[in-house]
A and B are shown apart, each in its own frame.
Chain A
Amino acid sequence: MAMSFEWPWQYRFPPFFTLQPNMDTRQKQLAAWCSLVLSFCRLHKQSSMTVMEAQESPLFNNVKLQRKLPVESIQIVLEELRKKGNLEWLDKNKSSFLIMWRRPEEWGKLIYQWVSRSGQNNSVFTLYELTCGEDTEDEEFHGLDEATLLRALQALQQEHKAEIITVSDGRGVKFF
């Protein structure tokens, strides 16, 4: 897990792990945290997490610096991400969440662009074909996790650009 991830300067700045009392400073702090969470999860290909995992992850716990973001503040960061559309709670107790470094609408747009570009409107795909098929190897959404994919397709469905259907052994989607 120790890949060459470039931590931002704030990560080595001790007060970054204390929720700032000054509102302007807090806004900057939260924006930096949101950005850090998304790039960390993107690099580590992590699409979901529990709050317990988050607390102990190097993301919120800088062992070398001896600072960790307290759980109440982690909750505030997660709420910011939810408001921005990058996070969805997976349970009522808010103990685990889906994290999407790109919002579902943005993924939906990319997928639909590929469908149109390759002249495949009115075609049917299985979810597997979309994210693991040869045809999509060069696309950014290749390898996308199923939970995020479904939400992306749901976004397209809302725009009447797609319909999620049942196929022989699971789910698929038809594009219009």
Chain B
Amino acid sequence: MLGVGDFYYELGVQIIEVCLALKHRNGGLITLEELHQQVLKGRGKFAQDVSQDDLIRAIKKLKALGTGFSIIPVGGTYLIQSVPAELNMDHTVVLQLAEKSGYVTVSDIKATLKWETERARQVLEHLLKEGLAWLDLQAPGEAHYWLPALFTDLYSQEITADEAREALP
């Protein structure tokens, strides 16, 4: 279990702060890479170094405490969910599909997962409803569903002052 002063306890607190600050951008879903970058930024020069494995360990402990965190494997890495959105296997599998290009379409889902149109649409509607995806009606061909969590440009974005304020209890 965790104890105050424990390395993973402190790391857990940092992870929660980053997730809270970025939640309004990505709906509570963040890649392990971005989380890692932001945590390292917040630690400063003299802090102990932190690896992605350390993050996973800390998140597993947070999970055990019932905080609503979950770890979703996608394309060789992980998505960290910090807001307990209702995600089932169908949703998770579509997230994994979206990881490659940051977006997903009904056609992508039908072609790769061999689902019916309705099943694909329902999942995408759900992701919109949970605030995890945004709709793009100007993409070539059909509607694209983009996940801010996977939008790599975000990686270079600093946490703004407003967002940092969000992170305070």
Contacts and interface: CB of A to CB of B under 8 A. Distances in A.
A67 interface: yes
Nearest to B154: A9
Interface residues of B, number: 19
Given A9-B154, A9-B157, A28-B24, A14 B131 contact: no
B138 interface: yes
Interface stretch (B1-9, B65-73, B107-115, B144-152): B144-152
Nearest to B136: A15
A118 interface: no
Contacts, number: 48
B153 to A, nearest CB: 5
Nearest to B137: A18
Contacts of B24: 28
A18 B138 CA distance: 7
Given A28-B24, A67-B138, A13 B131 contact: no
B146 A22 contact: no
Determine chain A's interface SS by DSSP, over half rule. Answer: helix
Contact of B134 (A12, A25, A67, A68): A25
A38 B25 CA distance: 20
A66 B138 contact: yes
Nearest to B148: A13
A13 B153 contact: yes
B131 A25 contact: yes
Closest 4 CB pairs of A and B: A15-B134, A15-B136, A18-B137, A14-B136
Interface of B: 24-25, 103, 128-129, 131, 134-139, 144, 146, 148, 151, 153-154, 157
14 contacts: A12-B153, A14-B136, A14-B146, A18-B135, A18-B136, A20-B134, A20-B135, A21-B128, A21-B135, A22-B128, A22-B129, A22-B131, A25-B128, A67-B136
